[in-house]
Amino acid sequence: MRVWFHSALLVLTGFLPRLSDAAAADEKSALSPASPLAAGALTETAFGLIAIIALIFALSWFFRRFGKQAFAGKGMVSVIGGVSLGPRERAVLLQVGGTRLLVGVAPGQVRMLHLLDQDNGNTASEDEFSGQLKREMGAES
């Protein structure tokens, strides 16, 4: 009985390395595909790259064409005009509903400088805006 066990063990151990080598070779061929420089792999990579570049161009065209209109709603506040008062200061004329406001904008703050009359606000042009701004700036100094 003991001899039979030893002979069976020797036979199995003799075949095991051959079986494991065959299994490793099958596993290796399944895990590593053909050369990445093969024509099929290069063609697939090129078409993938072309598709991604085309997608980037299509999205940039879409956002240039529809981006501002699709996401920016028509609000009640509109900027009528503005003038630079210094390197970081501006005076801006806003229209909120039917009211026009002269607003001073500086780093970290926004202040209402003047509430324009309904009559002046409806007929104000850029020249009138500049003149009124100069009058207001002269009155504060």
Taking residues 83-94, report their average pLDDT.
90
Among 48-52, 63-67, 77-81, 112-116, the minimum mean pLDDT is found in 63-67
Convert the pLDDT of each residue in 2-54 to its tens digit. Answer: 656 656 655 556 655 555 555 555 565 555 656 767 778 889 899 999 999 99
Identify the residue with better confidence: 3 or 58.
58
Residue 87 clears pLDDT 60, i.e. is over it: yes
Output the average pLDDT for the chain.
Answer: 75
* Domain range list for the chain: 2-70, 77-140
The pLDDT, as a whole number, for residue 1 is 55
- Which whole number is the average pLDDT over 112-127? 66
Q: How buried is 110 (Cβ within 10 angstroms: 0-12 exposed, 13-18 middle, 19+ buried)? A: exposed
Residue 102 burial by CB count (10 A; 0-12/13-18/19+): exposed, middle or buried? buried
| pLDDT value of position 106 | 92
Residue that wins the pLDDT comparison between 75 and 73: 75
CA dihedral 131, 136, 139, 141 (to 10 degrees): -100
**pTM for this prediction:** 0.36
**Residues 120 and 132: beta-carbon distance below 8 Å:** yes
Give strand pairing partners of 109: 106
Is the confidence at residue 116, as pLDDT, over 90?
no
pLDDT at site 29? 58
Q: Count CB neighbours of 90 within 10 A.
A: 14
